[in-house]
Amino acid sequence: MSANLTPRAKFATTLLRTAAALSRATGRGDGSVIGGRVGLIVEPRLLELLAEGRHVVLISGTNGKTTTTRFTTAAIEAIGKVATNSFGANMPTGHTTALAKAPKAEYAALECDEHYLGQLLDAASPKVVALLNLSRDQLDRAMEVTALAAKWRQTLQTSAGQSTIVANADDPLIVWAASVCQRVVWVAAGQSWTADSAICPNCGSHLDRFGEFWRCTNCGLNRPSPQWSVAQEGEAVVGPDGRRYELNLQLPGRVNRANAATALAVASLFGVDPAQAAPRLSEVASVAGRYAKVEREGRQLRLLLAKNPAGWLESFDMIEPHPPVVLSLNAREVDGFDTSWIYDVDFTSLAGRKVVVTGDRRTDLAVRLEVDGVDFIVVDDIRAAIAAVPPGPVEVVANYTAFQDIRAEFNRVN
């Protein structure tokens, strides 16, 4: 904890809080980024100083890190206060703010942008690092996904130190990156998207897959035996000793059961009894608007965020089989201007249901659905989409800025 801060660090922390509060008061978001920036200018080692003496977990990966961080926080709160960057400010400025805002928290659960993992390993000396998955992401075209895995592998080798890694045994890129570490707890967290791991990240040969198992035909890199997994039957996580921990999640889909498995694996490394932690996960109803349920004109909308091809596939697995589906696609800066990735996503599972298409790039999406033989109608915006479907449940799937637009329409629902 931060009891022993230097005078400079205390001053930096005070300025950070002031800047964040001003930013909030002037309606510019939650102030995490600007606050952290100010604090780090005054004391460049502020993140390190604030992390000192706390038990930290870093959570990173392409998809699911916000939800897994939320689950992990809920689980560890069974034994103490947890500092967390719950608003998705997942770079060092956001981490610094999260720690500054919770000076008395003995624990910290920090969602970490994939590109800052090395920096955070050095600054926060985490007790645990959870690595979820790596796949192509429109938010970031700066680095090809295998190159990112290679960077992680190198970073973990030099900087993981005393950390225990909780890693997804089903993602070959994650296994390759994490296998350089001494202490790894493997979780069968699944991989719905296999297009980015058809070949071995270690040697470039073909990967064979048999059911859940995968193995390189050349160098022998293969799926490690997981200690934690999602139960085949019912909604539960199975722990290292074979014991079942029943889940009663409000968040949908197998992907979220896998996120829960990772959270329980992490929490148990912090000394939390998984039996005590599991029921706490069911209290999470939505995460920064994701999975939020909103009502408008007799329609019950459920909002699903899907930022990249893997995310879209996962969302189709989460939606109920019958309700109409609204798809909204934008291509603004943070989404990536190029929408060609929608051709990587198989939309055929939507055939036979009512599909409404909207967003800035609705025409691109319409052409894509046409190619997959899915019937649809095109409308101008979410209001028109609501009017186009009958009263009752509606599933809404949107990429990043499209999702934020829809949240704004519902007064930034959380």
For residue 112, say whether it is annotated as part of any ligand binding site: no
Q: Segment contacting Zn ion (CB under 5 A): 35-43, 218-226, 241-249, 264-272? A: 218-226
Active site residue: 317, 338, 375, 380, which one?
338
Integer Cα distance of 325 and 319 in angstroms:
9
Q: Does residue number 285 form part of the binding site for Zn ion (CB under 5 A)?
A: no
Q: Under rule CB under 5 A, how many of the chain's residues touch Zn ion?
A: 8
Q: How far is CA 1 from CA 32, 52, 124, in A?
A: 19, 6, 12
**Count of residues making up the chain:** 414
Site for Zn ion in 303-322 (CB under 5 A): none
142-201 binders of Zn ion (CB under 5 A): 200
Q: CA-CA distance, 183 to 181, in Å (whole number)? A: 6
Examine the residue annotation and report whether 196 is marked as an active-site residue of this protein. Answer: no
SS (H, E, C) 228-251: EEECCCCCEEECCCCCEEECCCCC
219 in a labelled binding site: yes
Q: What's the Cα-to-Cα distance from 48 to each of 51, 174, 182, rounded to whole Å?
A: 5, 26, 24
Minimum distance between the CB of residue 204 and Zn ion, rounded to whole angstroms?
Answer: 7
Q: Which two tokens stand for residue 238?
A: 């199975």
181 labelled ligand-binding: no
Choose, by CB under 5 A, the member of 38, 46, 110, 216 that binds Zn ion. Answer: 216
Contact 287, 70 (CB under 8 A): yes
Of 91-99, 152-160, 202-210, 348-356: span binding Zn ion (CB under 5 A): 202-210
Q: How far is the CA of 123 from the CAs of 87, 114, 317, in angstroms?
A: 21, 15, 37
Q: Are 187 and 160 in contact (CB under 8 A)?
A: no
Nearest-approach distance from CB 207 to Zn ion, in angstroms: 8
Task: Select from 67, 138, 202, 268 the one that contacts Zn ion (CB under 5 A).
Answer: 202
DSSP letter (8 states) at residue 276: H
Rounded least distance, CB 258 to Zn ion, Å = 25
Residue among 195, 203, 285, 367 that touches Zn ion (CB under 5 A):
203
Q: Would you say 203 or 367 has its CB closer to Zn ion?
A: 203
Q: Nearer Cβ to Zn ion, position 219 or 387?
A: 219
Q: Which residue has the tokens 């035909």?
A: 217
In whole angstroms, the minimum distance from the beta carbon of 215 to Zn ion comes to 9
Q: Which residues are catalytic?
A: 338
Which residues bind to Zn ion, rule: CB under 5 A?
Answer: 200, 202-203, 205, 216, 218-219, 221
Q: Which residues sit in the known binding site?
A: 200, 203, 216, 219
